[in-house]
Amino acid sequence: MKKRFNSTGVCVSRKHYMVDIINKLEEIKELIDNEFYFTINKPRQYGKTTTLNEIKKMLNKDYLVISISFEGIGDKVFEYEDLFSNTFIELLSENMALLYEDESKRLRSLAININNINDLSRVITKFVKESSKEVILFIDEVDKSSNNQLFLSFIGMLRNKYLAREVEEDFTFKSVILAGLHDVKSLKLKLRKEEEAKYNSPWNIAVNFNVDMSFSPKEIETMLKSYSEENNITMDIKIISEELYFFTDGYPYLVSRLCQIIDEKIYKDTKRTWTKNDVKKAVKIILEERNTLFDTLIKNLENDNELYNYIEDITVRGIERSFSNYNPIIDIGTTYGYFKNENGKVSIANKIFAETIYNYMASKLENVYSKMDGYNLKSEFIELNGGLNIEKVLYKFQQFMKEQYSEKDKDFIEHHGRLLFLAFIKPIINGTGFDFKEVQISEEKRLDLVITYNNFKYIIEMKIWRGAKYHKTGQKQLCDYLDIQGVSQGYLLIFNFLKNKEFKEERVYIKGKEIFEVYV
């Protein structure tokens, strides 16, 4: 069977190209060997199930490993102690039946007349005490049905047995690993009455899980090496790995999906050497497709106005926010995988998420698209050499703003101006070009738009006018950024909200760079 890249469900080494995560597995195994209880709480499609599958294979030699999931067992199970307790035993027994048939039968023989959590606890004690190996328990999708008191009673029972085991007064699982989106330590916050002690979690025995489950560039290289060897392809694995990491920050699903797109869409009929440009093409494709990860991102933004506004502040308006997990909005954004701590500041976790957010927010300005008709017709901006006439694009956007908006629209423009330009230029570059945005924290709240179109690269900086002093500083910063991007010409789109403003254009030369400026 020929291997392939996988972006759905669990990855299996005999079927799929996989990143070598042995270092992560060793870190997790060390926690288990030391009898720790912990939660692997990571965002959706972050490789939790695959990691659990790999660590279980590593542990099977030394331990009796039981792995169950709360996915799909239904809410009714969590309404009655007898039903839950017997269902839990059934899940354990079914999982053991294949590899540990005798142990599975032994558990069933012990589990007679279980009516409540206390009965369940006594069965666990007997089972573990008489087991030939120490028992490890994995529970996946643990927060699927965790919004009720019975679930808290269950993990509270596991905690009590752990504490009793520590003083040699009980037998229980050597290690319990819960996996899900949320950290089970915090689940009680959603359930207890406000007057009760909020941080008295039934899972406060658990140690923090600090294993970085994102893929580093070096780890991505291991998957690319496997692919290139099997398909007899030579490629600059280090360069491609770094480019994949640049756009994904190592988010497992995104890394795998980009590789899958290159292999199955870009080079569908032939296997050829991958290039950095192929990665950009794959990013462009993934940004135009529907997938459950992006659907969940949009749903969470739609359902949480506070989160939406917070993300809009840091992405579109360039407002700097200090990172603190004690801030509920930052905490939930981090839990979902949308935020990261970048030098003590809140940043969007990766460029693909950022682009998805920009595109989504710009698309919500549906009421302005009809106004743009006649201003952003793609054919008007294509030059004979296949490049874009960015100056003409900026002129046309200036004309659009001048003719369609007035002083009474100031609040709308101040809030949505940059999104308006992103919506304006999107149909111009669609199909051929690729763009990504970078927030530059400064007094002028800069947002840089980097466009590659055919073999050309264009840098457009959008900022708010804050006075001549800040403007000169911003010009120098743009020149430095042009150096980094390897281009000699840049463009400034300046939003001026002063009453005496004028729509104008200027061309300046600084440090050997040409900057074309347009004021709106």
Mean pLDDT is lowest, of 170-179, 211-220, 453-462, for: 453-462
Mean pLDDT is lowest, of 132-141, 275-284, 357-366, 403-412, for: 403-412
What is the Cα–Cα distance from 288 to 240, expressed in whole angstroms?
21
The string of DSSP letters for 301-327 reads HHH-HHHHHHHHHHHTS----B--TTS
Do 413 and 358 meet the contact criterion of CB atoms below 8 Å apart? Answer: no
The sign of the CA dihedral 258, 7, 60, 139 is positive
pLDDT for the residue 199: 44
pLDDT for the residue 230: 93
pLDDT for the residue 191: 47
What is the Cα 245 distance to its own chain's centre?
13
Half-sphere exposure in the Cβ direction for 169 (13 Å, CA) = 6
Mean pLDDT of 451-468: 90
Residue 255 reports pLDDT greater than 50: yes
Residue 491 identity (one-letter amino acid): Y
What is the Cα–Cα distance from 223 to 17, expressed in whole angstroms?
6
Instruction: List for the chain the helix, strand, coil content (%; round to 5).
Output: 50, 15, 35
Mean pLDDT of 463-477: 87
Q: Name the more confident of 441 and 397.
A: 397
pLDDT for the residue 391: 96
Residue 366 reports pLDDT greater than 70: no
pTM: 0.89
Do 302 and 360 meet the contact criterion of CB atoms below 8 Å apart? Answer: no
Q: For the chain, how many residues are written? A: 520
Do 66 and 138 meet the contact criterion of CB atoms below 8 Å apart? Answer: yes
Based on C-alpha coordinates, what's the Rg of the chain? 28
Question: What average pLDDT does the chain have?
Answer: 90
pLDDT for the residue 196: 46
Do 335 and 182 meet the contact criterion of CB atoms below 8 Å apart? Answer: yes
Mean pLDDT of 257-276: 93
What is the Cα–Cα distance from 171 to 471, expressed in whole angstroms?
69
Residue 140 has φ and ψ, to the nearest 5°, of: -90, 160
> pLDDT tens digit string along 89-128?
999 999 999 999 999 999 999 999 899 999 999 999 999 9
Mean pLDDT of 219-223: 98
In the block, which residue shows the tokens 């509270």? 156
Closest residue by Cα to residue 155 from 195, 133, 182, 193: 182
What is the Cα–Cα distance from 274 to 267, expressed in whole angstroms?
9
pLDDT for the residue 232: 92
What is the Cα–Cα distance from 102 to 200, expressed in whole angstroms?
39
> pLDDT tens digit string along 371-418?
888 899 999 999 999 999 999 999 999 999 999 887 777 788 878 888
Residue 190 reports pLDDT greater than 90: no
Mean pLDDT of 212-228: 97
> pLDDT tens digit string along 127-140?
999 999 999 999 99
Q: Reduced to 3 states, what is the DSSP secondary structure of residue 268?
A: coil
pLDDT for the residue 437: 84
Q: What pLDDT band is residue 197 in, cutting at 50, 70 and 90?
A: very low
> pLDDT tens digit string along 472-512?
888 988 898 899 888 999 999 999 888 778 899 999 999 89
Q: Name the more confident of 66 and 370.
A: 66
Percentage with pLDDT > 70 across the chain:
94
Q: What pLDDT band is residue 357 in, cutting at 50, 70 and 90?
A: very high
Residue 169 reports pLDDT greater than 50: yes
Residue 293 reports pLDDT greater than 90: yes
Residue 248 reports pLDDT greater than 80: yes
Q: Name the more confident of 144 and 342.
A: 342
pLDDT for the residue 414: 79
Residue 235 reports pLDDT greater than 70: yes
Q: What pLDDT band is residue 151 in, cutting at 50, 70 and 90?
A: confident
pLDDT for the residue 198: 42
What is the Cα–Cα distance from 104 to 90, expressed in whole angstroms?
9
For residues 366, 371, 373, 377, the Cα torsion angle rounded to the nearest 10 degrees is: -80
For residues 342, 348, 351, 352, the Cα torsion angle rounded to the nearest 10 degrees is: 150
Do 16 and 6 meet the contact criterion of CB atoms below 8 Å apart? Answer: yes
- Residues with Cβ within 8 Å of residue 50, at least 6 apart in sequence: 10, 11, 18, 252
What is the Cα–Cα distance from 36 to 479, expressed in whole angstroms?
53
Edge-to-edge strands, sheet with 175-180: 38-41, 175-180, 135-140, 64-69
**Tell me: domain 22-190, CATH 3.20.20, correct?**
no
What is the Cα–Cα distance from 123 to 143, expressed in whole angstroms?
24
Residue 253 identity (one-letter amino acid): Y
pLDDT for the residue 473: 86
